[in-house]
Structure 1
Amino acid sequence: MTLRLGYGTNGLTDLRLDDALGLLADLGYDGVGLTLDHMHLDPLAPDLTARTRHVARRLTELGLGVTVETGARYVLDPRRKHGPSLLDPDPGARAARTALLVRAVDVAADLGAHAVHCFSGITPPGTTTDAAWQRLTDALAPVLDAAIRTGIPLAIEPEPGHLLATLADFHHLRTLLGDPEPLGLTLDIGHCQCLEPAPPVDCVKAAAPWLRHVQIEDMRRGVHEHLPFGDGEIDFPPVLEALAATGYGGLTVVELPRHSHAGPELARTSLEFLRSATRATNGATAC
């Protein structure tokens, strides 16, 4: 199976969204990881429905698939990165994050997206682990209801430093929620290298039944820094082979949010790298 490759708009924030989509289509990407943010389909600005329709038409014209991502740093609070989170001590603040995710699910349905990505957030000071998990499950309930209503899977991402940081934490959440059908996993390949006890290839194999979204970049062990391909430690051909073997049909999206200054060039070189790594895998398999 051939992987469907995409690039995240959080690595193209210096481009207008129309221009970013055109760039990715011209380069030969299959899709885009669309982060809802003030510069790209702002989820809080007026006329969201009309703007979403325009983006949907543009995606169709360009033949691009899409995943909706919700990792915008300051879309809700201009002073707190990723604030408020699903774990915020203030119930009203948590509700604002929940409402944003519900809106993201509706936008995803209008775009024909294959999943909505999210993450738990960092456990606030003074919050017990049990209380944090309770807040997370309560805050996700309306989002999962929206996922059921629209048929759009919710793909939560294990994020280093967050309450839900590992694959084991994802399975803990599944258990707490009663293993709801629309709850799936965003697997970030770099995070596997950074944090998981197993190597990325084994993480892919273990995560296969729950994969709804994949992010990919290079990374080093123990350092949460998204790196261009070749600047980290990951051996990519076996990882790509394992991903293809799972039968995963969604997008595998390059995630370089701190490299937007070089976004167009990195989009080009990243696709070349992944295609080369895929050819190396295919060549090894043929031998």
Structure 2
Amino acid sequence: MTLHLGYGTNGLTDLRLDDALGLLADLGYEGVGLTLDHMHLDPMAPDLAQRTSRVRRRLDSLGLRVTVETGARYVLDPRRKHGPPLLDPDPEARAARTALLVRAVDVAADLGAHAVHCFSGVTPPGTPAATAWKRLSAAISPVLEAADRAGVPLAIEPEPGHLLATLADFHHLRDLLCDPAPLGLTLDIGHCQCLEDAPPAECVKESAPWLRHVQIEDMRRGVHEHLPFGEGEIDFPPVLAALAATGYQGLTVVELPRHSHAGPDLARTSLAFLRSAMTKGAARC
């Protein structure tokens, strides 16, 4: 079974970025899900190009692959979590989020990343669904154009509670945008357990043609809480076997953004768990 495992820096925010990358390489991870945020690679820094160049050299020296993630909570607005979203009623606010995502595409190209992750955001109160989808389509189009120029796919994530919450919503966006080539999918395995009608292994199989990035953690049905492996309800060996069978060659990134206080230990135990689950999954095939 060939999967390329990474760990998200949003679960290592108590570490300096250089230390986090060194830890992951020492543990045996193949890559990192790098969230652009103030404590690591700040996308709002005036010297972003120089910082990105330094991170690229560090990744290369450690032999780590990378995907760029854009789920930082307060990078644009210090008072609104994930604000402003692509669905904000204010056109200038939407434009600020679009600009951040375009900047993330540029950073990803400079890092040699295999994808840029994003999500739709929560629909503002009182906004009709048709209006929200129209805003999303318009706001994400410049990002897709930038991704096309850079040759880096944009992988949007179905997120519980957001406008684009399910795999069906992802396909709705594809249809609205006439299925643009740069648009792919970030599949979060825990979100499948939380929200989708099909079990996670079936979600993987159904998503195979559009997979550009994968996040993984444990979760319970109907509860959007990212859990360490073994604390939720997911049967991982068949999920990992299904993922390997798709031929997906991007990173599969452990996503534990609320566990930074235990990040180094969880990075170690998560890798051991996933390697064991991969072995069990391969034995079932």
Letter in 1 for 2:255: E
Once residues 93 and 267 of structure 2 are traced to their aligned partners in structure 1, the CA distance between those partners, rounded to angstroms, is: 35
Corresponding residue number in structure 2 for 1:98: 98
Note the alpha carbon deviations across 1:205-249, whole angstroms, 9 max, x for none: 000000000000000000000000000000000000000000001
Task: Tell me, yes or no, if structure 1 residue 43 matches structure 2 residue 43.
Answer: yes
Structure 2 Cα separation of the partners of residues 21 and 94 of structure 1: 32
Aligned length: 285
Task: State the AA in 2 paired with 1:104.
Answer: A
- 1:141-160 superposed matches below 5 A: 141-160=141-160
What's the counterpart of residue 70 of structure 1? 70
Question: Is 1:79 matched with 2:76?
Answer: no
CA distance in 2, matches of 1:130, 1:279: 46
Residue equivalent to 2:18:
18
> Which structure 1 residue ranges, 4+ long, deviate > 6 Å from structure 2?
none
- Separation in 2, partners of 1:283, 1:219: 24
Match of 1:262 in 2: 262
Q: Where do 5+ consecutive residues of structure 1 fail to align?
A: none
| Other-structure match for 1:134 | 134
AA of the residue aligned to 2:34: L
Query: Cα RMSD (Å) of the superposition?
Result: 0.5
Structure 1 counterpart of 2:165, which letter?
Answer: A
CA positional deviation for 1:101: 0.1
| Structure 2 residue 106 is matched with structure 1 residue 110 | no
Aligned to 1:180: 180
How many angstroms does 1:282 deviate by? Answer: 2.0
Query: Are 1:249 and 2:249 an aligned pair?
Result: yes
Q: Which residue of 2 aligns with 1:230?
A: 230
Superposition deviation, residue 279 in structure 1:
1.1
Task: State the 1:29 CA deviation.
Answer: 0.1
Q: Which amino acid aligns with 1:132?
A: A
Query: Which residue pairs with 1:191 in the alignment?
Result: 191
* Letter of the structure 1 residue corresponding to residue 31 of structure 2: G
Cα drift, residue 90 of structure 1: 0.4
Shift of 1:283: 2.4
Match of 1:278 in 2: 278
TM-score, length-scaled by structure 2: 0.99
- Measured after TM superposition, the shift of residue 280 of structure 1 is 1.1
Q: Report the CA distance between 1:46 and its aligned residue.
A: 1.6
Which residue number in structure 2 is paired with residue 54 of structure 1?
A: 54
Supply the distance in 2 between the matched residues of 1:199 and 1:120 (Cα, whole angstroms).
Answer: 23
Query: Mind listing any 5+ residue stretches in structure 2 that lack a counterpart?
Result: none
Q: Aligned partners of 1:48 and 1:113: how far apart in 2?
A: 16
Give the C-alpha shift of residue 48 in structure 1: 0.4
- Letter aligned with residue 276 of structure 1: S
Distance in structure 2 (CA, Å) of the matches to 1:95 and 1:30: 35
Give the distance between the partners of 1:171 and 1:148, measured in 2 at CA. 19
Residue 284 (structure 1) shift:
2.7
Letter in 1 for 2:2: T
Residue type at the aligned position of 2:122 = I
CA distance in 1, matches of 2:249, 2:198: 23
Query: CA–CA distance in 1 between the matches of 2:111 and 2:12?
Result: 19
Query: How far apart are 1:49 and its partner, in Å?
Result: 0.4
1:28 and 2:38 are equivalent in the alignment: no
1:45: Cα distance to partner? 1.1
CA distance in 2, matches of 1:161, 1:56: 34
Identity %: 83
Question: Offset of 1:126 from its aligned partner?
Answer: 1.2
Alignment TM-score, normalising by the size of structure 1: 0.99
Q: Which amino acid aligns with 2:49?
A: T
